[in-house]
Structure 1
Amino acid sequence: MSAPAPMPPALPAGARHYSSSPHFTEITTPAKLTELHRTKPGVWGRLVVDQGTLIFVEPDPWGTEQRVGAGETVIIVPERPHRVALDGPVRFLIEFYRE
């Protein structure tokens, strides 16, 4: 069995912000974010949690579940399947970047 793919600590050099989602809460989070999905080729995401916590999930072969709390971020790699799991009250957004 291979080791989980490491989560990148930062966006790649030269990545440029081009869009952001609205802020979501445990009530307003679209179902598509809690279902497995992926970004388009060349599109990176940055999940930013402002309040509360959620769980960022990358299924096999990575099998990663990461609890993300207020003030923390997660970098979302292009085309890598992922979803979020809600864990109580939360407020977050997603920033989108292109290389």
Structure 2
Amino acid sequence: MSLPAWPDDAAPYRRTPEFTEASVPKGLLRAHATRPGTWARLHVLEGGLVFRDLVDGAELLLGPGIHPLIHPERLHEVAAAGPVRFFIEFCARPGDFAAPA
């Protein structure tokens, strides 16, 4: 993937609950994207998660300590690679997006 680097001023504003292979929302398993101005970072805590960038076709097997950067409005999907526990952290740059309260 040749994408711009994570912006230095992007700050977290929300995170999901932890998901497992049994509780991952169906919407994450098919093509979806973050909204304009929203960056995201996947945090795998245990196990493995497949991350697919649907724009360039890149596929990464994620484990603990590997955090792909999800750029605003970029189509992607995930799939469990066996037992997994993970969450998603949403970030925004000042002035790019008004984070919901």
Normalised to the residue count of structure 2, the TM-score between the two structures is: 0.86
Taking the aligned partners of 2:15 and 2:38, their CA distance within structure 1 comes to 12
In structure 2, list runs of 5 or more residues that go unmatched: 94-101
Corresponding residue for residue 54 of structure 1: 49
- Structure 1 residue 52 displacement after superposition: 0.2
Corresponding residue for residue 66 of structure 1: 60
Corresponding residue for residue 40 of structure 1: 35
Deviating 4+ runs (over 4 angstroms): none
Asked whether 1:6 is paired with 2:2, we answer yes
Report % sequence identity. Answer: 44
Corresponding residue for residue 86 of structure 2: 92
Normalised to the residue count of structure 1, the TM-score between the two structures is: 0.88
Corresponding residue for residue 99 of structure 2: none
Task: Pick from 7, 16, 23 the counterpart of residue 28 of structure 1.
Answer: 23
- Structure 1 residue 38 displacement after superposition: 0.1
Give the AA of the match of 1:86: A
- Structure 1 residue 71 displacement after superposition: 2.3
- Structure 1 residue 11 displacement after superposition: 2.7
